[in-house]
Structure 1
Amino acid sequence: MEPQYPAHWEADVVLADGGTAHLRPIRPEDADLLRSFYSRLSDQSIYFRFFGPRPRLSDREVTWFTTVDYVDRVALIATLGAEMVAVVRYDRVADQEAEVAFLVEDAHQGRGVASVLMEHLRAAARERGITTFVADVLPSNSRMTAFFRQAGYTARSRFADGVVRMTLDLAATETSREVTMAREHRAEARSIERLLTPSSVVVIGAGREAGGIGQTVLRNLLGADFNGPVYPVHREVRAVAGVRAYKSVSAIDEDVDLAVVAVPADSVLDVVEECARKGVKGLIVVSSGFGETGAAGRERQDELVRIARAHGLRVVGPNCLGIANTDPAVRLNATLAARLPGRGRVGFFSQSGALGTALLQRVAQRGMGISTFVSAGNRADVSGNDLLQYWEEDPATDVILLYLESLGNPRKFARLARRTSRVKPIVVVKSGGMTQGVPVGHAAPELRLPDSALTALFEQAGVIRVDDLTRLFDVAQLLAYQPLPAGRRVGVVSNSDALALLAVDACLAAGLEPSPAANLGARAGAADYRRALAELRDQVDAVVAIYMPPVPGNAAEVAAELVRAATESGKPLLATFEGRLGMPEELRAAGEADTATGPAKGSVPSYPAPEEAVRALAHVVRYACGRERAPAAPSRPDGIDTAGARTLVAEAIASGPAGEIDAAGLLARYGVEVWPAVAAASPDEAEAAAEKLGWPVALRSADPQVAHRAGAVRLGLAGADDVRRAFEELSGLLGPGVRLAVQRMAPQPAVGVVVRAVDDPDFGAVVSFGLGDATARLLGDEAYRLAPLTARDAAGLVRSVRAAPLLFGGHGYPPVAVPALTDLLLRVGVLADELPGVTRLDLDPVLVSADGVYVLGARAAVRPPISPRPDHGPRRLR
């Protein structure tokens, strides 16, 4: 039988220099590709691969190398355009061992091709049951020996018969994961850097019509005084906006880094091909007519991305506003927005093209500055995750703003955001919270979990999520220009009793700790503010200053006093200053040369009302307190038998494509006991079961869904008569077809809770927690965290539900064993993370008393795992 081609091994990848390549298994029809590739290799590369000269490959060798079975003999190639640039292969030499070899074209060595090929070959080998790679390397081939040692896997080497034999254990290690993530970070950051710092730009489709898309982008580039040549391309005109035009990209004599494409959608693919031949490094496609128009447009959009990536290009768009970089060394405005904010410390990503112009105007109206801006439009390629990789280490960016309409890889977003938010705040507006819908045309799935799960993901990652765009900028202007607060203590200084009271009330509502407001009176001047601010300096962590004089006063002197106090105290100070919004000139710290550079650090942000100032401050306080906590590793309780659990899951999957598994047996491998329940079809059987289990007992429906009905459980049955009477009552209430079960009574009083885990296609393993009563279920009072959990995550789950006070002694309830509950959550989190074949796990009901946790019911479903999980496996572009 002919070997089946493993199409799921194909992938687009980002290389170390920011370019892209396509990886796929080799095929017999690649014979000519291989010959051409081999003809471009240097003698040294051939010598290192074959340990001797080999000017050409024979037809027999070409057939051998290109014909594989994708099981015992596997080869992956990297292609760029129509050429093969690298190949890696393994040949099985024992049951779990294979010999591996690499060959990278000389012109592409040092671009990280070998490292990403190694990741994909390892994944393929693990899929085929191979656990070890061996490779024979010449001692003089130092680059290859260093490559194997730096891969992060457990490596051993020995010298024999003139070669160094390297042995690699393919089991993932913490080091190998760190190496992979570091390479991904550098590559994706570099790919964005290439887009944002071009040396030259071509605008394709820049015509003579004023107001046309192409000419608008061209004029904006010229108006920003881009620090490099700009080339208009139009087939019919000789000049656009006073600049010489070219008939095609290929007609330009000089190199071109960035192309802005503004031609009709049906011409874009031809333009991309031409840009690829020219050696353009990145594309900004502002043209519409793609995924947002329907199935045909989506097909065109997918082809656009395929062609671009195959030739080494990243794509922003299509249907986007463009990109901008305010760095004086670049001065790039490749957008449709004529007016950009000045230079600042805020990086801004927006998926919406139509909204992007309005957002930039809002930033400018507030007097804020930006470092860089990217509008992704349909986000067919470049996404917010790519920008996080870039901004994390961009020295020009201190604050990251994201307007998201969809999430292509929520799991990866959480990982990147968790790391980035440790050093730079991330503020997000996510639209579609009520519908969880995805805009037409976006290359992203519709999320299946509720919006509360997404909120929890953001919280777990240290991201500041706000409800709307106004609050996005409210928070941003505080983060960008004032230091982070050290705690929750807030001082309020005001010349209005009423406004001070509003500020204090807002602080209390937001969980802050306001000190008594300092009311200076309606005629307060600079000296009064100086004295009040000095008295507060050592007593609070932040100050809200309110200046709303009933008659005109010396506002400039008060403003100067606020800026001085903010600068000297090193603590955040924000104001309601004459009801103004943004960064007024009077409240700007010294340091900016002119308005084009934006406010300097230490400038005081102003809000129209004190409640708005406090809301922004509350977001920043929560972020600052979270960042101060040391990062924690996922917790792994004792008594876990992962190997035994995996055997159970494999056996259950082998018995059928999908179905239920013995949840009690599975949980036992993770140190969780499920109390036995004995089915009873008659009063006699119920009595016998109670005698066996021990009195007192409970009688309930064996169907968890029916058991939630009011009156469907009988508790504290202490004798035979009780059991028989309860059986007759429930049979009459629930109907003859409902199965009943007898179970030993758990200690009382107790609170019922529900613990669940799902393997979500987008988020990966997710653990949820809520109370089990009918009110909590109806209200959807449920909290979520990504698995595996840290001890802090588990504690946060318990405390995040609105009914959490019932677990801590609130409303007359006795406090329960919360440590035992968090231990259960940790164990479920480990299970969910380690067993991707378990698609759903429900622990319901679970009772928590003062003495411990009692799992009274559990169900689990399995299916063959979808590989790889989100953000697992080798690096690849979605």
Structure 2
Amino acid sequence: MTTPPDSSADDGVATEAGYPQEWEADVVLSDGTTAHLRPITAADRDALQRFHTAQSERSTYMRFFAAMERLSARDLTRFTVLDHRDRVALVAVTSAADGSEQIIGVARFDTIAPREAEVAFNIADSHQGRGLGSALLEHIAAAAREVGITHFTAEVLPQNGKMLAVFREAGYETTQHVDDGIVTVSIDLDPTERSRQVMIDREHRAEARSMVGLFTPRSIVVVPPGDADATSLQARMAARAISAHLRDGDVTMTVVGATDALRAEIGDPTGLRFVDTLDDVEAPVDLALVVAHPADTLATVRSLARLGVRGVVVSGPGYAETGAEGLALQREIVRTAHAAGMRVVGPGSYGMFARRPEGVFNASLAPVLPPAGTVGIFCQSAPMAVTVLATVWRRGVGVSSFVSAGNRADVSGNDLMQFWQDDESTDVAGLYLESIGNPRKFSRIARRLSLVKPVVVVTAGRSGHVVPAGHAVRPTRAPRRTLEEMFRQSGVVRAENTHQMLDIIQLFAHQPLPSGRRVGIVAGSAPLSAIVAEAAGTAGLVVTSHVAVVREDATEEENLAAIDAVYAEGACDVVVAVHVPVLGGTDARFCAAVAQAAARSGRPTVASVLGLHGLLPELTVEVPAERAEQGDVPAPAPAAAAEGGAAARTVTVPAYSTPEDAVQALGAVVRYATWRHQDHGTPLTYSDVDVAGARAVIDRHTVEGRRTALPADEVRALLACYGIDVWESVPVRDADEAVAAAHQLGWPVALKSTAESLRHRADLGGVRLDILDEAELRTDVAQMQSSLVDHVPELRHPAARPLEVQRMAPAGVACVIRSTEDELYGPVVSFGLSGDAVDLLGDVSYGVPPLTTTDVAHMVRSVRAAPRLFGYKGLPPADAAAIEDLIGRVSELADDHPEVRSLELYPVVVAERGAAVLSARVSVEAANRKDGLRRALPD
């Protein structure tokens, strides 16, 4: 690529503008390691020179089209002293062995025309092939869009195939031509569906690979506290972690600086090496377990850089949960780790473990691991991890992998979901979340995972508004139902507590997905079957006539025949088996009959049997190989497969403490199966959208630190860019102006007050409708001026225009569509029918963009007043497609422009054909969205 054009900075006198700290980001690269991206500064002169001189002659030629051993002083100034608007450069940096920053990649652009810039890249020879070029392109493109650049051009030598591939594979609209031996590439920076998907796919692969690196270490270093007190919390945690690994692990372990007391507690087993300092540890090391005191952790992480460590598990308290100083320390630890290519689990982590073909990897504090299985579990705080693992072990639920993220300063549930997507040993994902730091990303990843594997989530609170100490989460003012709606859109199964989460998980893990919601019942008595039937109706299931009562006074043949009738082909979709013997104990024959029928038929089954809870031998049966090959039953846990061999599979009917628990879990699984197999629609995109035009309107009114309400004409202009037509209304002072406006707009008209308290309030005299002629209009103006003067002080001022005239819309149903930009969730779109009753009762549906056609259809139909849109009491049906189209366009506008802090279309009158937007309001403010169009780790 050619060198950037000269600018006023070349003389070395110009000073750079304000440093755009918001462009800084940590990213996961394609090999699963991390790097830090930030704007270049004048202080980077020496680092940039070192980067340049370390490049090969070929790389230098590819970048500058000429040999250049060193950058001149003029070049260094030109490349490092920038205005961060017309001339922008980002560098990727990593930590060198001595702790200093090392530049490993540079991306820059220089404006060459309005809204157009020339872009150039240079990646260190030793770091090529790690995805740095694509990551830098995403971030430099995002920065360019922020400053109004819509197109990049780049000049590339034909033999520079790697750089041409970065442009070609980014997903943007590109064109290229060859002139005089140079390839000129033109890139349209407007995001496309393909460019978004490319970013999502790259993000998925990189973050999944980073977790693979954490779960598959070959060597581990443990850094315990340096004090001599073996009874301190950190020392006891270190001893537990080392002991657990020695019992279950199969990798080499080195312990640094262990005190005599700690050595005495651990002993001196074969395979464990003790060293005095980190300088004595031999590279490479894959994973570090840091149980040091918080004051020593940062220095420890810095020292780990030279060892090539891929991940750090930080256990113990004393970080963000202690206050501002702890939070600052936590952030610096993460920043240091990312700059050195490491992911961080914690601080405050209970550790992690995973089962691999070659053995168990255990870097947790758990004294006993649960059995092997197909369930992946993510948990945040260490105390809850103890509870969850104890419950899992007690129930016998098999686990494939587990991570406790503590304060989840870096590794989060999003990373685990990315990993589980491709992990063949995991069939079910369970997450205990105390907070969600990036709901938009969570929703995006969870929806993708839920399409292939069930995701069961329990949150610390129903709304997500309560955030534990230590979790750095943006505040939210989103309605409390927003989190629930986000889960629904994503296909996430929400549980009320950990008990219910595991109720659902054990069913997912050991029974096939239901094909419907018809319930058959096998019960030990008629009263028990009635209890099940009532619970099933409450859970949204349909009770069939196939109910078998297994009597203690009946013969075994009679009871088996009754059970077989329930499991007959086509009789039902799922079965609930409940039995409480009158004389107590557990009826082994009942359990065996139900388990065998469930395995034989492949019918999803749950049981509530006295004395049984969890996954137990009494309700376990082997499935013959020929039946297992039909795919009607879930794959066994690894241990079961090893025991049973290839000849058979085992099927376990999960047992529950109460019939209600069993039915509730079954209802959740049925709802998930319905969601998974339904049409999920297509992403909302509109070919007639003018993103650049909307951006121009927004930019004219966006002021840093201030929210601005757009004038009516600018509101209409902005919405028109997204195909939304707002009906014109004319402000008037008196009857003469009202009549003139009516002639201009066309009769009949509506007369409205502009006062906030009277807008849309016909019941308070603020609106007069269906005015057919001049005489009626003059009378209405006079009456409103007389009756509303107490409500509208402006009526006392002759120059004011407190009324407005608007052409009458066709008769229809009045609705309201709103969008609000939330600091945590981003845009939240809502829909409801207008009116006090609807507002007071909260009959509103919510959606978190990006939405699909199915999401929008659900929003319209999920409000309780929705029947009014579909022919209620003989009225003609309204044009539901028109209102769905409006919601979709509002969703796309809000998603595209985080500066739009609030948007309201009210009222929207939906007629038999079409929807008329009679009034609209928009306010804008500088963008502050968490999840943008670039890959980045948590701030």
TM-score (norm 2): 0.85
Q: State the partner residue of 2:657.
A: 608
Write the deviation string for residues 780-821 of structure 1: whole angstroms up to 9, x where unpaired: 222111234332112111222233344445578775443333
Provide the residue aligned with 2:8 in structure 1: none
- Three-state SS of the structure 1 residue aligned to 2:55 is coil
Deviations 1:252-285 (A, max 9, x none): 2353211111121111111111222332221111
The 10-residue stretch of structure 1 (610-619 or 29-38) with the greater mean CA deviation from structure 2: 29-38
RMSD of aligned alpha carbons: 3.3
Match of 1:760 among 816, 822, 828: 822
2:923 is equivalent to residue 873 of structure 1:
no
Which residue among 248, 253, 259 is the counterpart of 1:230? Answer: 253
Secondary structure of 1:558's aligned partner? helix
Amino acid at match of 1:364: W
Amino acid paired to 2:919: G
In the alignment, the residues of structure 1 paired with residue 762 and residue 611 of structure 2 have an alpha-carbon distance, to the nearest angstrom, of 54
Among 241, 245, 260, the alignment partner of 1:217 is 241
1:120-174 deviations in Å (ceiling 9; x for gaps): 2233344444444444444444433433433333444555555544444444333
Q: Closer, same or farther in 2 for the Cα pair 1:526/1:837, shift >3 Å?
A: farther
Question: Partner residue of 1:410?
Answer: 439
| Contact 1:530 1:561 (C-alpha < 8 Å) held by counterparts | yes
Matches within 5 A, 1:391-540: 391-434=420-463, 436-523=465-552, 527-528=557-558, 530-535=560-565, 536-540=568-572
Residue of structure 1 in register with 2:168 after alignment: 149
Match of 1:635 in 2: 684
Maintained 8 Å contact 1:13/1:877: no
Q: Trace 1:840-851 onto structure 2 (pairs within 5 A).
A: 840-848=902-910
Q: Does 1:16 align with 2:30?
A: yes
Paired position in structure 2 for 1:175: 194
User: What SS does the aligned partner of 1:859 have?
Assistant: strand
The equivalent residue for 2:45 is 31
Q: How many Å apart are 1:767 and its aligned residue?
A: 1.3
> Match of 1:285?
314
Q: Give SS of 2:545's match.
A: coil
1:132, 1:639 → 2: CA distance? 20
Task: State the Cα deviation string for residues 226-263 of structure 1 (Å, max 9, x = none).
Answer: 11122222353356511353222332235321111112
Matches within 5 A, 1:809-824: 809=871, 815-824=877-886
Q: 1:241 aligns with which of 255, 266, 273?
A: 266
| Map of 1:660 onto structure 2 | 710
Q: CA deviation at 1:619?
A: 1.4
Give the secondary structure class of the aligned counterpart of 2:352.
strand
Paired residues of 2:138 and 2:933 also in contact (CA < 8 A): no
1:89 to 2:108 alignment: yes
| Matched AA of 1:609 | T
Unaligned runs of 5+ in 2: 1-13, 623-635, 796-801
In structure 1, C-alpha distance between the alignment counterparts of 2:161 and 2:173, rounded to whole Å: 18
Q: Supply the distance in 2 between the matched residues of 1:73 and 1:728 (Cα, whole angstroms).
A: 58
Taking the aligned partners of 1:57 and 1:366, their CA distance within structure 2 comes to: 66
Count of paired positions: 875
Establish whether residue 830 from structure 1 lines up as the match of residue 892 from structure 2. Answer: yes
Q: The residue matched to 2:847 in structure 1 has which SS?
A: strand
Q: How many Å apart are 1:644 and its aligned residue?
A: 4.7
Using a 3 Å threshold, how does the CA distance of structure 1 residues 276 and 654 change in structure 2: closer, same or farther?
Answer: closer
The DSSP-based 3-state class of the residue aligned with 1:360 is helix
1:222 maps to amino acid: L
Which position in structure 1 is the counterpart of 2:594? 562
Residues 276 and 589 of structure 1: CA distance in aligned 2, closer, same or farther (over 3 Å): farther
Of 265, 284, 300, the residue aligned with 1:255 is 284
TM-score w.r.t. the length of structure 1 is 0.91
Question: Offset at 1:293?
Answer: 0.7
How far apart, CA to CA, are the structure 2 residues paired with 1:92 and 1:854?
Answer: 43
CA distance in 2, matches of 1:643, 1:101: 24
Partner of residue 414 from structure 2, selected from 385, 389, 396 = 385
Residue 84 (structure 1) shift: 1.8
> Structure 1 residues 161 and 807 mapped into 2: Cα distance closer, same or farther (>3 Å)?
closer
Name the CA distance, whole Å, in 2 between partners of 1:621 and 1:729.
Answer: 61
- Among 702, 717, 720, the residue aligned to 2:754: 702
**Equivalent position amino acid for 1:777 in 2:** D
Aligned equivalent of 1:777: 839
Residue 547, structure 1, aligned to residue 579, structure 2: yes
Preserved contact between residue 157 and residue 164 of structure 1 (Cα < 8 Å): yes
Alignment check: 8 A CA contact 1:12 1:20 kept: yes
Contact 1:95 1:130 in 2 (8 A): yes
Moved more, 168-177 or 282-291: 168-177
Q: Measure the CA separation in 2 of the matches of 1:40 and 1:640.
A: 47
Q: Distance in 1 between matches of 2:871 and 2:104?
A: 66
Q: Retained in 1: the 8 A contact 2:27–2:35?
A: yes
CA distance in 2 between counterparts of 1:131 and 1:717 reads: 47
Partner AA of 1:279 in structure 2: G
Question: Counterpart amino acid of 2:655?
Answer: S
CA distance in 2, matches of 1:69, 1:689: 50
1:102 to 121, 139, 164: 121
Matching residue's letter, 1:873: R
Q: Secondary structure at the match of 1:361?
A: helix
Which range is displaced more, 351-360 or 732-741? 732-741
Matches within 5 A, 1:124-143: 124-143=143-162
Name the CA distance, whole Å, in 1 between partners of 2:716 and 2:78: 51
The aligned counterpart of 1:3 is 16
In structure 2, the CA distance between the partners of 1:657 and 1:528, relative to structure 1 (3 Å rule), is same
| Distance across 2 between alignment mates of 1:730 and 1:849 | 31
Partner of 1:200: 219
What is the CA deviation profile of residues 593-637 of structure 1, one whole-angstrom value per residue up to 9, with x for unaligned ones?
Answer: 868999976321111222222211111112111111244223356
1 CA distance for matches of 2:662 and 2:365? 32
Alignment correspondent of 2:365: 336
Letter paired with 1:703: A
- Judge conservation of contact 2:395–2:614 (CA < 8 Å) in 1: yes
Instruction: Give the direction of change, closer, same or farther, for the CA distance of 1:805–1:208 in structure 2 (3 Å limit).
Output: same
Aligned in 2, Cα 1:187/1:101: closer, same or farther, shift over 3 Å? same
Distance in 1 (alpha carbons) for counterparts of 2:916 and 2:80: 59
Cα pair 1:832 1:838 within 8 Å, conserved: yes
Contiguous gaps of at least 5 residues in structure 1: none
Letter in 2 for 1:233: V
1:731 is matched by which residue type in structure 2? L
Q: Distance in 1 between matches of 2:913 and 2:174?
A: 49
Query: Deviation at 1:725?
Result: 8.2
Deviation string, structure 1 residues 721-754 (Cα, Å, up to 9, x no partner): 9736852784277465574555566555x54432
2-side partners of 1:305 and 1:353: how far apart? Answer: 19
Q: What residue is the counterpart of 1:731 in the other structure?
A: 788
Matched, 1:46 2:75: no
